[in-house]
Amino acid sequence: MSIRKKIIISNLLVLFVPLVLLLSMGFLWLQTAGQKYWQPIEEMYEDKNGVISAQNLIYAYQEELWNTNWRELENIDEEVMSGGELRQSPEMIRLRKELTDLGYHFMITLNDETLYANVSEAEWSQVEKLIGPIPEQANSVTVGNEEVSVIRCSFYEDNEECSIIAISNGEGNVLGSKSYLQKYVIPYIWIFGICTILISVLVNACCSRWISSLIIPPMKEIRRGMQKVKSGVLDNEIPVLRQDELGEVCEEFNEMQRQLKRSKEEQTKYETYRKELISGISHDLRTPLTTIKGYVGGILDGIADTEEKQKKYLLAVQTRTGDLENLVNQLSSYNKMENHMFRYEMEQTDLKEFVREYLEENEEFIRENKLDFLLSAEEGVKLAIDRSAFKRILDNLLTNSVRYREKDRSHIEITIQKRTDRIFWSVADDGPGVAENCLEKIFESFCRLDEARTHCSEGSGLGLAIVKRIVADHGGTIYARDRMGLEICMEFPGNKENQD
């Protein structure tokens, strides 16, 4: 069953269930305790010979009695009067017809002068037997028995008196045996009740259609959106038609769709990264293993037939084994950092003093690899760092400078500056540099610009990826610039926690 039908049925139930219960309770009440209350009401409104109905008609047409041109009627000749014709307005004609239908004949007088009468002598005789002559001083008289009823009503205006006397002998009463309550009141109650129900049903239909127009379109849009998501389409957002609860649902659906799209993109990116990672690890393991296998085979096959050759082969095996060990250590460290398992020992450090101590500790490495340094650092720039992790940053950057240089000597410049609320730290060399479109890629794991990757000694491909991870874990950002060589720039927040 559709939502629209459910809304209509629920609204009808809200209307008719209380109504049926109310009618049932009323019926039971009338059949039991209510009977003693209802019967007196019917007796009070019992309309014998239509007296109550006739009184109501006379009072209802009181205005028309005065609006009749009685002066014109005074000039009517005897023949017209004897014929019982009454030249009146349509309202007075309806009064005569309705009184006649109730079994009444009547007479109209103006200042005791008879203007119209259709009462027979026999009816006057019955009245005289019942009450005698009608008192002239009586303004209103209502007398009756089972055979005859008499009604007199007088109206006054500008010292003139207009009276109407209505007489019924019980014949031709259209009410029959029904009371006034049964004839007029109850039918009107039924008409009022039926009209109320019809209006309620109409209002219910309009309200149901209005509510459906608020609910159905957003639901259809959500359904279409779900079907598209099911088919893999995540770019088509559903329109938010209203700013209400359903509008919030549509907005949440769009947000879910955007989240799914981001998740799918991240999953695709992760799959690509995983494949490249596996490919890189496989290649970097295969190259030294192949070398080791070749040298060991040469020793076993007797190719290294002298002690000098055997020593040379063993040294080569030792070098390649060191490369493998270095690769495994790099992978282990990178994995811990990526999974946030690496624990940093943070301490407030003067960066200029830290770099000086590092250069002194690695003086032999610097001399052997012919490195010239220029340290341009401001005094008193401090940062909370893990000293061993930052030594690894410098190790990796200097190793890359030596590994990829094209000259015998290298010039390296280290810059440390305090910039407003940031700390800037850069390491630049005078090597061959990197193409502009590759500057962002160099921080990816196993990314080396030599796609052939034929020399394991050129690195594991994790150095700059580890550097980026360390910088990020310290709340900083890293990027590269090509300025007559490669410059690695790092920026850290210079908040109060990082100052004295």
Residue of higher predicted confidence among 279 and 348? 348
Q: Which span out of 130-134, 334-338, 482-486 was modeled with the highest average pLDDT?
A: 482-486
Q: Looking at residue 496, what is its pLDDT? A: 47
Q: How confident is the model at residue 79 (pLDDT cuts 50, 70, 90)?
A: very low
Residue-wise pLDDT for 31-77, tens only, equals 776 666 666 666 555 556 667 777 777 777 777 666 655 445 444 44
One-character DSSP codes across 30-41: HHTTTHHHHHHH
What pLDDT sits at residue 40?
A: 66
Segment 420-475, tens digit of pLDDT: 889 999 999 988 888 888 888 888 776 655 543 333 344 556 778 888 888 998 99
Tell me whether domains 48-178 and 343-498 share a fold: no
Domain boundaries of the chain, sorted by first residue: 48-178, 343-498
For the residues 189-193, what does the mean pLDDT come to?
85
Superfamily in which the 343-498 domain is placed by CATH: Histidine kinase-like ATPase, C-terminal domain (3.30.565.10)
Give 490's strand partners.
425, 478
Predicted pLDDT of residue 489: 94
Q: Which helix (H) or strand (E) holds 418?
A: strand 410-419
Can you tell me the mean pLDDT for 236-243?
A: 77
pLDDT of residue 41: 64
CB 215 within 8 A of CB 241: no
Whole-angstrom distance, CA of residue 19 vs CA of residue 206 = 20
Three-state DSSP at 74 gives helix
- How confident is the model at residue 456, as a pLDDT? 38
Question: What amino acid is encoded at 51 in this protein?
Answer: V
Query: What angle separates helix 307-338 from helix 245-300, to the nearest 10 degrees?
Result: 170
- 131: confidence class by pLDDT, cuts 50, 70, 90: low
Higher-confidence residue: 73 or 195?
Answer: 195
Query: What's the CATH number for 48-178?
Result: 3.30.450
What does pTM read for this prediction?
0.46
Strands ordered across the beta sheet of 104-110: 113-117, 104-110, 160-168, 149-157, 140-144
